[in-house]
Amino acid sequence: VTATLAGCSASNTTTVTVNNLPIALAGNNSPVCDGDLLALSTNEEMASYQWSGPNGFNNTTQNPTFIADINAVGTYTVTITDNNNCTATSNTVVTVNATPTVSINNETICDSKSALLIATVNTSGTFVWSDMQTGASISVTPSATTTYTVSFTGNNACTATAEGIVSVNENP
């Protein structure tokens, strides 16, 4: 820069540094099931992070984790700030699938008789019983009181288990 006043001039130079903006890239491990660990992530180490999201979610760590519930569904935003105080923002959408609810009836039978156990569930999926039978209902003939477990996997990949007891009475 040169300035002239009344025939006198003066010059000075300065250096202007233009810093590159940081690049924010937000991500997550969804879809997850209700009750599973949800992990948010961003791509690089920065001076600071500010996450925000549904239901007043706020966090200042690079890669926050928390137990997800169905209310965690939505868009999460991270603003990263580098050492030059330049910022960038990125969004990631989280999906949380509902965990199924499964229950089994209990039965009381006489020795040598059969019992029908029926698993009731609030969604569609597949059943595997502790005796390796499949399907929503099984017929069993235990010789003593036995606990049966069903493992259910919903079409959304979320799982649940339940137990049913078949009590066996001796024949008179």
Nearest by Cα to 78 from 21, 39, 40, 31: 40
For 81-118, letters b (16+ CB in 10 Å) and e give bbeeeebbebebebebbebbebebeebebeeeeebebe
Q: Please report, rounded to a whole number, the percentage of residues in the chain having pLDDT higher than 90.
A: 83
Which pLDDT band, with edges at 50, 70 and 90, does 11 fall under? confident
Percent of the chain whose predicted confidence (pLDDT) is above 70: 100
- pTM strictly above 0.85: no
3-class state of residue 36 by DSSP: coil
Residue 32: per-residue pLDDT? 97
Residue 46 confidence (pLDDT): 87
CB 119 within 8 Å of CB 149: no
pLDDT tens figures, 73-83: 999 999 999 99
Model pLDDT for residues 119-141, shown as the tens digit of each residue: 999 999 999 999 999 999 999 99
Give per-residue pLDDT as tens, 14-54: 888 888 989 999 999 999 999 999 999 998 888 999 999 99
Three-state DSSP class for 72?
helix
Residues 127 and 151 sit within 8 Å (Cβ to Cβ): yes
